[in-house]
Structure 1
Amino acid sequence: MAGNSQRRGAIRKGGKKGPTVGSGGQRRRGLEGKGPTPKAADRPNHKAHKMAKAADKRSGGRPGGGRSGSRKPAGSSEVVAGRNAVVEALRAHVPVTTMYVAGRIDADDRVREAIKTATERGIPVLETPRGELDRLTDGAVHQGLAVQVPPYEYAHPRDLVDPETPGIPLVVALDGITDPRNLGAIVRSVAAFGGHGVVVPSRRSAGMTASAWKTSAGAAARIPVAQAANLTRALEDFRKAGFFVIGLDMDGDVELPDLELASEPLVVVVGSEGKGLSRLVSETCDQIVSVPMSSAVESLNAGIATGVTLYEVARRRRG
């Protein structure tokens, strides 16, 4: 009814708070944004948050210490885990510093060989709880056996320019090779055909990991691997020191059997299978050389192409 002062909400009491009945602005505030939705890992009741918390606990509270997303800093030591991997590393004379063996391990021929080899070489063998092995190997399948490999000590490219080195200098430089097994195979070929060293870029390149050591079959202990901050600049320094620089490419102007520079101090540059030589590196080369192949094959593996080239260089030098 008009003028009904008893109607609910029709009167206003004195004071500054406004009406006592009504939404009080709640509907308007309900339409306002509350900011971005938190990530799943930041919600206490979400499964992702609980998993992240458990991973952080396993890693001892180190940020990013869990298996996913963790990265080792450059130049850090490496842990090789698993019975087969450990035995292969020892057979390849990878420079192991420590061996970890789980307590009450079920020893088989691989475990016995690994322990015997480590003992003969004076490598410390530590009995380690399985929980600690899990932490050391970052959750890998270690089968109760792991070894630690120290960071590789790289040479400097100028160390490979030594007038006292016997024979005609021969160096291999890698441009964009990211597979450590290719690096190991190339180091092995360099040792087999009288080479004096390998140069790798410090970024976007394979390094001397345990995998590279194993593939080199012990050659990495005899052939120095140098690391260059700038590969193009390193190649220019080799040229100033009297080296000729040749690059391997399937579209090269010179075929390998016609290489007349083989008897000169030489740097052989090998590019990746997919991208080949980078533009700046290619422009730095004195010659681009191709390996003649059957038309049924598009390209060779980088390690195989290097081995074939080094063999031909060695053959021509003997001739």
Structure 2
Amino acid sequence: MTTQTRRHPIAGNWASLLLPIADDDTIDFGTLGTEIDILIAADVDGIYSNGTAGEFHNQTETEYDRIQDMLAGRCDAAGMPFVIGACQPDPIIMLNRLRRAVPLKPLAIQVILPDWWPLTNPEAIEFLKRVTDAADGIPLILYNPPHAKRVLSPSELADVCGPCPSVVGIKLADGDADWYAQTKRHLKEYALFIPGHHLATGIKQGIAAGAFSNVACLNPRGAQLWTDMMRTDIETALQIESRICAFMDDHIVPFRRDHGYSNAALDKLLAAVGGWGPVGTRLRWPYRFIEQRAASRLRGTVTAMLPELFPDASD
């Protein structure tokens, strides 16, 4: 475990940039620009591109560059912090994506461990060292989600990230009381980003810096208000969290558990349920998506269960 202090001020409620996919499987860049403007107007803590919900695994390099250029240009003009995901299962493609992201000067760049064949710890360290060199001083966030080929424990994450001082943050799933104890022991020097619907618990535990948030997929402004509440009224924020989790468990998770839809499909469903923007539920071929009518059925349910997340709702 490293003893170097590297905690980065990146924190809070980060909204995912979701790709609007047209019926012919192209990216609707006009709608993407509108989405970025809506997220900026929601005054979220930041916007990030090319996470799982951003379908980083299913876009060309020309499309990748255009997405990042659009995000950086609009965010720079508005003074909005942004993080670019250079993620790609192929390490060479990922490294090249990162190099092309560096001139855009994001607050940080997110990477994953190469994912076709799981890396050993020494291989992961070597990978992150080369990524660090290519990042040219821009901080890195390691994304190690539950669906990664290899999900590292808190101690393994410390072993892998410790020799690479540019890795200042980690996006990961949280766990039980033992997970929190291990995380406090091994990862206290890192800005940790846990699932959005558990953020109040992570804040109370003194572990979470923030979330690249599925709650922001549901309503970016509402998620920001809830995040701000955690600084002044954590108990009320925890009570809202319990209702967020109940909504997710009862109405969103069954689409994955019972019907096999991907996490990206669920996040786009959340955005459609929230009704805050023109993204739509469609994923790019060959991935299945949830029909828009499912979102329409759930809209009344979510506003009744979570009125705090919908401050502008008229009813």
TM-score norm. by structure 2 comes to: 0.26
Higher gyration radius (CA): 1
**Which has more strand, going by share of residues?**
1
Asked which structure has the greater RCO (Cα within 8 Å, sep 6+), the reply is 2
TM-score (normalizing by structure 1): 0.26
